Structure 1
Amino acid sequence: MQVQRNNYIYDYSMSPSFNDENSLFNFVVKDGNGVKGLVDSGLTEVPGRYIQPPNQRINKQQAAATSPENMTIDLSELDGPNHDQVVKAIAHAAETLGFFQVVNHGVPLELLDSLKVAAHQFFNQPPEKKAVYLKGVSPSPVVKYGTSFVPEIEKALEWKDYVSMIYTNDEEALKFWPNECKEVALNYIKTSMEMVKRLLQALIENLGVKVEESILDTLLGFKMVNMNFYPTCPNPELTVGVGRHSDMGTLTVLLQDGIGGLYVKKDENSSFGNEEWIEIPPMDGALVINVGDTLQIVSNGRYKSAEHRVRTMNSASRVSVPIFNAPLPVAKIGPLPELVARDGVAKYRELVFQEYMNNFFGKAHQGKKSLDFASI
């Protein structure tokens, strides 16, 4: 089958050659075929543009083994006699790994299953159906379909396609978000709001700071849900699904499918060659929570944003569905004054969150280097 798009003719009955970087970039990024389009074309080996430097590749054998029970928190106990112990467990996870899993979180389990189905439905559409949401042509700035992180400046691309949906209000979501996933994605955001607020309350409470509603509103003013798709990869040992990074926001809620592949760096102070990575094992019915840069800044370094990455698979395509909870772009963020007074020093400067966003999206993934922008 031949398809003409933007003056290029792609023959899907043959595996196209993508040795030329311009034709690869046009096919994957500009025309919206994404990585899935590469795989569907019959690709048998990873193009050079996707091959990561050796020190960025993920060696599954070198990852530390961990049990889901060691990092799983039952949120139903926040309301009972074990409240203090649960808060301590949440805070300990935020202070150390920056990652934990929650069960009995209030998000219906059937909704979680529906989200995974909807993600596959969206990405299994023909390329032209997804390409209508490409940057520059999308009917609304609240929806963006794309691939990799910032492909225009990345030396090695990530093996991932995604669709991002920014939540402003229900009406806009139902009008502009893709039909295949808008209702479940909206439901996911709305049913997770109370959980995220309670987690943030617990974390601020643990800092010995009075939990003002205005603080919560500031830190959780922006919400975006992504559907991420990691197609099967012929050479997973050479690629990454997502490169090493920390999230820029306050708290991220992540739904994994059962395939696995999410890795978190155990010690933020470890250097190349001495790093230990832990795989966050998929757990049916659980949601993964991770600390973002904003919470590290606000807590004056007490809580640690988690450096994490995703490997690719040659056995199956993987989906994940994160909700990024962050301040509104116009909000000012900085260490809480009570903590600066107690610590005697501010480790981060106050800044408008839009400045942090611009810096974050202006570079390829570089671990936690984005935090340097706010450091004093």
Structure 2
Amino acid sequence: MKAAVLQNLGNMEFTEVEDPKCEAEGLVVKVMASAICGTDLKIYRHGHAWITLPWILGHENAGVVAEIGSGVTGWKIGDRVAVGCIMPCNDCYFCNQGWHTSCQNPRGISYHYPGGFAEYMAIPPEALKCGLVQRIPDNLSFAEAAVAEPLSCVINGQEIIDMHLGDQVVIIGMGTIGCLHALLAKSRGAVKVIGADVLESKRDLVGIFGVDVYINSSQEDLVKRVMEETDGLGATTVIVACSVGKAQEQALSLVRSRGRICFFGGLPKDRPFVNINSNIIHYKEVSAHGAFSSSPRQYQLALDLIISGKIKVKEFITHTFPLQDISEALKMAEKEESLKVVLEPWPAL
């Protein structure tokens, strides 16, 4: 089969590779859509501790069942499916507490198993057992189904910070993740969502994603505007949906007393430290949280929200490319005018 293989950093090649083998308790899926994630771009440029090159990336996937293991029941050839990413071990201390994103022994498609930047991908038995493979209806496109994976991570972040009715939310960074946060916050009852970014071009993108106020923080004083929009109190919730240390620092100046902060974007590994005024956390009794990955339950919930139409993700898909144009797709994914770039190895069914 053909696949886009990361041969070395910055070098992705469309080439012939061996067909995936179907395990007795697993499946093989014909990939119909695989979306490019910011994490894929980081791995493309900088690598990842779990990955040894050459490797096939792609962890936001949907397709059709092409092969069924001899020990698998309940599936048939041609089933339309969405496929999640991270499989918790369900055996460690953290899994036993129900904190699956803190699993000590996670396994991941695109990390420990080859991903979806290929014509076919093998689904390991663990993915079936924990519910990461879910059927999708005929009226949902494969590209839309692929967005369930990043939405599940957003759900995890908002569950951790207890997003709820009446919240006034600031989201810093209005890429795909920031816009998904805006949509989900509105669906959870936020009364005002303020989006902030340094790019004026984002103003045109955010209008359809539940953002009530857009602030170009390269042209306006973000703290001043947020205080004006929140009656001088600050936001109940601040989500930093970008990998910028200064944005994490500034979040403390935007949040009100008893407010919550979510550091959603990880910082570059060579610049992981920030300067934070801990007195703000102390005297304003602010809660600051990290958010990473998602659980199988959250993945299933994300897919249900998309299927039901509660969260509409079609507008996120700004560009599509055939798999053989992987180099151009990666370039587009790095540009500010794109949100979600999707590889479609096969014509849509």
Q: TM-score range by the shorter chain?
A: under 0.3
Q: TM-score, normalised by structure 1?
A: 0.23
Q: TM-score, normalised by structure 2?
A: 0.24
Instruction: Identify the structure with the greater strand proportion.
Output: 2
Instruction: Identify the structure with the greater helix proportion.
Output: 1
